[in-house]
Structure 1
Amino acid sequence: MLNLSRLQLLHELSVLGTISAVARSLELTRPAVSQQLSLLEKEVGFVLFERSGRGVRWTSAGERLLAGIGGILQAVNEVEADLARTAQTVSGELRIAAFGSAAATIIPQAMTRLAKQHPQLEIFFNEMEPGDGLKATAAKQVDIAIVDDLTGTENVALQLDFEPLYIDPFKAVVSADHRLASTGRRSVELWELAQETWALNQSAVGYQTFIVHACHAEGYSPKIMSSCRNIAATLEFVRTGSYVTVLPGLATHNIQVDPDFRCLDLRPLTQRRLFTAFAKGSKARPVIGSALEAFQQACSLFVNR
């Protein structure tokens, strides 16, 4: 009989890529993970993977077993959700992941609402870039993640369900004394930034790639002279008046009232879509359903701002 916990380990290895990453995820030693995976191979009677550099290469038997694990884990999630529905209160733990701009806007509002509505629920949050959030959700390190459509989901699509959450238009951000911040001006054409010096947030790879490609579509490559690791540093360069940037609307929420900045609608309309990601079969869990509702209510506060 196959051991469910060992199947989960194999699933995590397929998501995270290395035994070391699985060990860190579960706070186990690397030898302990290797031992459990070896026991799984003895149970099935086949070699499931071979070590290849820092990662692994799956055998045909390993690929066949992985193809079936998704359905098994989904069935387990559905059973857990069915049992959880019998509880009269939403309780236990909820682990959330989201990237920076969602962490500064949607998450605090949603967590506050959840804490008030469900005082017996313990909520833990980790800021993660969308790709890391997807991996963490697929590996069951977190229960639900906010991600965007700038990040590929091919490697985890079979393990996760997605629900639309928010459409986030990009904004051009300039200093208050910049030539594009003239009185009454509310929008800017992307091509108008062709001769400007840019500051961009390099930690969000999908976002930066998307913006660069959008500029290419307008016939130029942005002159990126400041490549920062966070939005706060990016904005400090813009504040000097020598740089411009383009940010998702959520990322500009906290500077809308700052007199040093002007946030301009971008033309042509450029936007990203936000989604919630969670394990297949887990939506029926009251804690996941409550989180989804709280996220939607929090997003309603930012529509048309």
Structure 2
Amino acid sequence: MSPRPLDAAALRLVRAVHDTGSVTAAARELGLTQPAASQQLRAVERVLGTPVVVRAGRGVRLTEAGLVLARNAVAVQSALDATLEEVAAVASLRAGRVRVAAFPSAAATLLPAALAALRVRHPGLVPTFAEAEPPEALAELDAGRVDIAVVFRDAATGPDGDGPRRLRVPLLEDDVVVVLPGSDRQGDGAVDLGALADRPWIAGCPQCRTQLVGTCARAGFAPRVDFATDDYVAALGLVRAGLGVAALPGLALAAVPHPEVTAHPTRPGATRVIEAVAHPGTTRVPAVAAALDALRGAAGRLSAAHVRPAPRRRPGAGTGAPRG
């Protein structure tokens, strides 16, 4: 027997011949010409290596092999119909899933609003979420384990040369602010980082403080990091206790209550760009396109301190700190 598989059209024809008792009638029922139907039956017989129909008086009848095909044609057609209905449900967003990875402060602020809006608009769509810092989120995207990676980069960095591999959708510009104990009276304006050169600093892991170190370098000093933590709650607690100062992204302060501390813009300033990243081909998938729209909408509605909509341009992609 040829390894070439039978197609659904051939099975439908064999079933129609069984039901009508005639190749001509079967062809008429399926919208085929009689010669085309006969040719298709001969092709089926070549694939199977055995006759499917034989003459019987003025009509035809199915052989044992033909009867097997006719009997299973109903199940095959039912499975095909169910498959097409499932695809239609996914295409119309009545079903399906979309997988998103995002860093912690976006997961606490941007993602809940976006995913809630997505559920309201498309109740049958199932979003899933995994927390990951930008490098890990992009690795998950490239491995096909997520559909969208929400990441950030230092606004001062240039394009990363992604080219056609990735599509980057700008969502927010997130100002990094300096956080001081409430007892430290600095007024409401921007704080000159150079004035904090002698203070102890609270920062993330060595790999996650690139932006802080670079910003302080522009202010003429290297920060003395006495406390290292990637936990924003812990960082705020240390600041509240008067043990040091910290530079944190606005999204983090929007996510965590911070009484007894004050947040200030910095001189020189530091900003990160928040982006949703996907592979260009997947943006034609309805679930991915809907999730990107929901992220853009949530970003536009996000009105927290030090967070503002990103400009409508295609930024590059660095993933320097501060973390999450």
**What is the CA–CA distance in structure 1 between the aligned matches of 2:300 and 2:149, rounded to whole Å?**
18
Mapped contact 1:201–1:231 kept (Cα < 8 A): no
Question: Residue type of the partner of 1:189?
Answer: D
User: Relative to 1, partners in 2 of residues 1:135 and 1:162: Cα closer, same or farther, differing over 3 Å?
Assistant: same
The superposition leaves residues 256-294 of structure 1 with CA deviations (integer Å, 9 ceiling, x where unpaired) of x63311111112221011111111211122111111111
User: Relative to 1, partners in 2 of residues 1:284 and 1:85: Cα closer, same or farther, differing over 3 Å?
Assistant: farther
Corresponding residue SS for 1:91? coil
Mapped contact 1:162–1:277 kept (Cα < 8 A): yes
Deviation for aligned residue 1:186: 3.2
Q: How does 1:86-165 map to 2 (within 5 A)?
A: 87-150=91-154, 158-165=164-171
Report the counterpart of residue 169 of structure 1 in structure 2: 175
Over the residues paired in the alignment, what is the CA RMSD in angstroms? 2.4
Report the counterpart of residue 229 of structure 1 in structure 2: 230
The superposition leaves residues 68-106 of structure 1 with CA deviations (integer Å, 9 ceiling, x where unpaired) of xxxxxxxxxxxxxxx879833352111100101111110
**What is the CA–CA distance in structure 2 between the aligned matches of 1:89 and 1:233, rounded to whole Å?**
41
Task: Find the partner of 2:203 among 200, 203, 216.
Answer: 200
Question: Residue type of the partner of 2:292?
Answer: L
**Residue 297 in structure 1 maps to residue 297 in structure 2:** yes
**What is the CA–CA distance in structure 2 between the aligned matches of 1:271 and 1:85, rounded to whole Å?**
41
Question: Residue type of the partner of 1:245?
Answer: A
Corresponding residue SS for 1:272? strand
Mapped contact 2:148–2:277 kept (Cα < 8 A): yes
- Number of aligned residue pairs: give it: 217
Unaligned 5+ segments in structure 2 are 1-86, 306-324
Over the matched positions of the two proteins, sequence identity in percent amounts to 31
**What is the CA–CA distance in structure 1 between the aligned matches of 2:303 and 2:241, rounded to whole Å?**
29
Question: Residue type of the partner of 2:108?
Answer: A
User: Relative to 1, partners in 2 of residues 1:167 and 1:213: Cα closer, same or farther, differing over 3 Å?
Assistant: same
Of 234-243 and 148-157, the range deviating more from structure 2: 148-157
The superposition leaves residues 205-229 of structure 1 with CA deviations (integer Å, 9 ceiling, x where unpaired) of 3x51111011112110001000113
User: Relative to 1, partners in 2 of residues 1:249 and 1:84: Cα closer, same or farther, differing over 3 Å?
Assistant: farther
Deviation for aligned residue 1:157: 5.1
**What is the CA–CA distance in structure 2 between the aligned matches of 1:274 and 1:109, rounded to whole Å?**
15
Deviation for aligned residue 1:110: 0.7
Report the counterpart of residue 244 of structure 2 in structure 1: 243
The superposition leaves residues 179-236 of structure 1 with CA deviations (integer Å, 9 ceiling, x where unpaired) of xx34x42321121221111001228x3x511110111121100010001132222222
Question: Residue type of the partner of 2:116?
Answer: T
The superposition leaves residues 134-157 of structure 1 with CA deviations (integer Å, 9 ceiling, x where unpaired) of 111111110001111249985965
TM-score when scaled to structure 1?
0.65
Question: Residue type of the partner of 1:161?
Answer: L
The superposition leaves residues 162-185 of structure 1 with CA deviations (integer Å, 9 ceiling, x where unpaired) of 11111111111111112xx34x42
**What is the CA–CA distance in structure 2 between the aligned matches of 1:88 and 1:101, rounded to whole Å?**
32
Q: How does 1:246-265 map to 2 (within 5 A)?
A: 246-255=247-256, 258-265=258-265
The superposition leaves residues 48-79 of structure 1 with CA deviations (integer Å, 9 ceiling, x where unpaired) of xxxxxxxxxxxxxxxxxxxxxxxxxxxxxxxx
Question: Residue type of the partner of 1:220?
Answer: F
